[in-house]
């Protein structure tokens, strides 16, 4: 299950790897403002299609939704982040991507193991496993 959870946020990490899209995604999260992005990534030789949406604040929660179609499975994730959680994710992402930019490197997305070592994946994995923050459904 942990690998499926990491796949759910993998496309957001890929999104954040490119300067323009990544900055827009992090800014949308920082402000919890409307944002959407879609694309295809390759995971272990299999194309995965991703659609992400930041829907804005609903009450005191920032609403994020992602759909990932991978290997015949459609994984839908919905997260309701508090302001504190948004700030934590943004802070970790800002530091991580600033470090990558200054070193000239890109995130290592070559394997699930390398993704598990990514600090953005670590924080998101924690929230994805917390059913009071994120829910996930998988259909074939």
Dihedrals φ, ψ of 72, to 5°?
Answer: 85, 0
Of 12 and 76, more confident: 76
**What's the confidence (pLDDT) of residue 8?**
52
Place 58 in a pLDDT band, splitting at 50, 70 and 90.
Answer: very high
pLDDT confidence bin for 19, thresholds 50/70/90:
very low
How is residue 32 annotated by DSSP?
T
The answer to whether residue 12 scores a pLDDT higher than 70 is no
What is the pLDDT of the chain when averaged over all its residues? 79
pLDDT digits (tens, 9 = 90+) for 94-139: 888 788 778 877 766 666 666 667 787 788 888 888 999 999 888 8
**Structural domains in the chain (count):** 1
Is residue 26 classed exposed, middle or buried when 0-12, 13-18 and 19+ CB atoms within 10 A define those classes?
Answer: buried
- The model carries a pTM of 0.79
Query: What is the extent of the structural domain holding 6?
Result: 2-139
Torsional sign, CA 27, 29, 33, 35: positive
């Amino acid at each position: 299950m942990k690998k499926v959870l990491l796949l759910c946020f993998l496309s957001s990490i890929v999104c954040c790897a490119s300067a323009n899209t990544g900055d827009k995604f992090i800014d949308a999260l920082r402000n919890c403002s409307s944002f959407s992005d879609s694309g295809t990534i390759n995971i272990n030789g299999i194309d995965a299609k991703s659609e992400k949406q930041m829907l804005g604040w609903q009450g005191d929660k920032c609403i994020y939704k992602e759909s990932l179609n991978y290997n015949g499975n459609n994984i839908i994730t919905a997260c309701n982040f508090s302001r504190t959680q948004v700030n934590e994710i943004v802070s970790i992402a800002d530091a991580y991507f600033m470090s990558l930019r200054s070193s000239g490197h890109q995130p290592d997305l070559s394997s699930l193991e390398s993704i598990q070592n990514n600090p953005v994946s670590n924080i998101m994995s924690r929230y994805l496993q917390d059913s009071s923050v994120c829910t996930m459904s998988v259909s074939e």
